[in-house]
Structure 1
Amino acid sequence: MSRLASTPTATDATRGLLLGLAGVVMFALSIPMTRLAGGSAEAPQLAPAFVALGRAAVAGGLSLAYLALTRARRPQGREWRLLAFTAAGVVFGWPLLLGLAVRHVDAVHASVISGVLPLATAVIAALVLRQRPSAGFWTCALAGLGLVVGFAAWRGAGALELADGLLLGAVLCASAGYVSGARLSTGLTAEQVICWVLVISLPVTLPLAVLTRPAAPVAASAWLGFAYVSLVSMWIGFFAWYRGLALGGTLRVSQVQVLQPFLSMLFAVPLLGEHLDAMTVVFALAVLAVVWWGKRQPIH
């Protein structure tokens, strides 16, 4: 029996959990670092389009080297279509919509809205795979959506802002990309999936990144944020996360993902000088609880 199909040993389970947690910590910094790279509407830095496309171009170049060094096999047949769909979600949709959104809302706000990402991924997976989620799962999914919409309306003084729509669109793109990427992992290793996704995107990301590069100097901190999302959020983080899932078991290790939005909020305070008020923490904890409970509901 293969390692993926067998019960992980105690050592592998611990290593997998630690690697999974490391991946979540790396991903949790993505929203604050995207805000750092792009700046705000009042003090803009790198253009959101350059941040989104440039990070993919940098990671794509590294992926090309990785695939060549490991002599990875080429995708075949329907795998090309799934790779293109995954790229549309995680290479273009998520980074671009997130970058546009955090120009107008702070990273703490974006972290709460994106907290429903695990539930959204589960919903799309259930629909694509024609599974039958339990009533408890759908209750949690609707409760999570209601919480983030209620939070957005509260922060918007009773009205939803365009940035909130962009954030929900980013969550939808990422969820769809994660599901199609997971389907590819049955034939390719998880590391190969993200690398091929980035490589097939290079003919688009590289020239557009050059065209959208900054014409005027920007702060060094913006370049620091860009370097992080390019090297860690778009590449290294996936290696740690996927390896953790493989070693420790997907069901067990994926539970730590519920901590991601809360960690993003905590990172935004020292990195960006943002403020955490009590009501935002309450909403974040409520979303975390709903997502955690939703992941425990049966899907047949």
Structure 2
Amino acid sequence: MMTNQITKDENISGWINGFIGVVLFSGGLPATKLAVMEMSPTFVTIVRAAVAGILALIVLWLGKEKRPVKEQLTPLLLVSLGCVVGFPLLSALALQYLTSAHSIVFLGMLPLATAIFGVFRGGERPHPIFWFFSIVGSLLVIGYAVSQGISASPIGDILMLLAVVLCGMGYAEGAKLSKTLGGWQVISWALVLALPVMIPLFFIYFPDDIGNVSFQGWFGLGYISFFSMFIGFVFWYKGLAQGGIATVGQLQLLQPFFGLALAALLLHEQVSMGMLGVTVGVILCVAGTKKFAK
């Protein structure tokens, strides 16, 4: 009886932590758009990884955390490749060709990518109906974007698709590892592993016209450095570890709609009111995936 109660409590906590992570992640692409409008995508990626890496190093030192064992280094490198370098760089490059509203649509496929990697790497085996709701939710998000008639760029679309694949891999690897290493420890060590590369690159790519960057550019860079690259992951990986990679990962279906709202608010990008009806459908899909996840 006690075991079942603990499992239920952990499942609820997983969804709460996962939801907080999704809310924090939702501002990532609009904030990145603000940054890349005034700075190069490469420099933006380097700065967000370096700042978050230094913050992670301080937190690990203050917490006197043990270093990862040898068996944990490969998964950490995959997390670093997918979440610290891959998704930030590819999405920043894509935003040179796309509006943030268009790029956010691709996040609708992120839960499916995370679930697939969770099956192959995390050993999870969701109910077949889970896949039905997951695919329908992804198609609702993609269909909504198509219905808006947003102009597309093939280069930007390919970059965002690759970004989503790498991010799904990083999420699944990090969630699996967080069960033994801890949620915030996973992203922290992944960031620290990237620091020896990011710090030299910071000086190599440091722009001469940095003094011309506006408040909006600095705000965007600051947000993705602290919230998208570190704080959001603390909640996200903890939620995935508590509630399951495939299950809690479906909360990402809500991220595009939070992001679209922020794109309209911060960047004044056009967002149709039809988003409301699609959001309801997506929420129902999330509820369905939760019910049939095990």
TM beyond 0.5: yes
Q: Which has the higher helix share?
A: 2
Q: CA deviation at 1:267?
A: 1.0
| Contact 1:100–1:163 (Cα < 8 Å) also in 2 | yes
Q: Could you say which residue in structure 2 is the equivalent of 1:214?
A: 207
* Inter-partner Cα distance in structure 2 for 1:90 and 1:58: 15
| Contact 2:18–2:248 (Cα < 8 Å) also in 1 | yes
> Does the C-alpha gap of structure 1 residues 122 and 245 become closer, same or farther in structure 2, counting only changes over 3 Å?
closer
Q: CA deviation at 1:148?
A: 5.8
Amino acid across the alignment from 1:32: P
Alignment of 1:150-169 (within 5 A): 161-169=154-162
Q: CA deviation at 1:186?
A: 2.9
| 1:179 pairs with 2:172 | yes
* Inter-partner Cα distance in structure 2 for 1:285 and 1:164: 26
Q: Could you say which residue in structure 1 is the equivalent of 2:288?
A: 293
Q: Could you say which residue in structure 2 is the equivalent of 1:50?
A: 43
Q: TM-score, normalised by structure 1?
A: 0.82
The worse-fitting range, judged by mean Cα deviation, of 71-80 and 136-145 is 136-145
Q: In structure 1, which of residues 33, 36, 44 is the aligned counterpart of residue 34 of structure 2?
A: 36
| 1:264 pairs with 2:262 | no
CA RMSD of aligned residues (A): 3.3
Q: In structure 2, which of residues 222, 225, 230 is the aligned counterpart of residue 227 of structure 1?
A: 222
Any stretches of 5+ residues in structure 2 without a counterpart?
A: none
| Contact 1:137–1:297 (Cα < 8 Å) also in 2 | yes
Any stretches of 5+ residues in structure 1 without a counterpart?
A: 40-44
Q: Could you say which residue in structure 1 is the equivalent of 2:107?
A: 114
Q: Could you say which residue in structure 1 is the equivalent of 2:236?
A: 241
What do the CA deviations read for 1:207-250 (whole angstroms, capped 9, x no partner)? 1222222221222211110011001111122223345567xx42
| Contact 1:119–1:291 (Cα < 8 Å) also in 2 | no
| Contact 1:24–1:256 (Cα < 8 Å) also in 2 | yes
3-state SS of 2:193 partner = helix
| 1:60 pairs with 2:53 | yes
Q: Could you say which residue in structure 2 is the equivalent of 1:26?
A: 24
Q: CA deviation at 1:53?
A: 1.5
| 1:7 pairs with 2:7 | yes
Q: In structure 2, which of residues 85, 96, 100 is the aligned counterpart of residue 92 of structure 1?
A: 85
Q: Could you say which residue in structure 2 is the equivalent of 1:42?
A: none
What do the CA deviations read for 1:115-171 (whole angstroms, capped 9, x no partner)? 221221011111224554444334445445655665666667897622111111111
The worse-fitting range, judged by mean Cα deviation, of 286-295 and 111-120 is 286-295
| Contact 1:112–1:284 (Cα < 8 Å) also in 2 | no
The worse-fitting range, judged by mean Cα deviation, of 18-27 and 213-222 is 18-27
Amino acid across the alignment from 1:235: F
> Does the C-alpha gap of structure 1 residues 254 and 155 become closer, same or farther in structure 2, counting only changes over 3 Å?
closer
| Contact 2:114–2:169 (Cα < 8 Å) also in 1 | yes
> Does the C-alpha gap of structure 1 residues 288 and 120 become closer, same or farther in structure 2, counting only changes over 3 Å?
farther
> Does the C-alpha gap of structure 1 residues 224 and 158 become closer, same or farther in structure 2, counting only changes over 3 Å?
closer
Q: TM-score, normalised by structure 2?
A: 0.84
Identity of aligned residues (%): 38
Amino acid across the alignment from 2:219: L
Give the number of equivalent residue pairs: 290
> Does the C-alpha gap of structure 1 residues 290 and 243 become closer, same or farther in structure 2, counting only changes over 3 Å?
closer
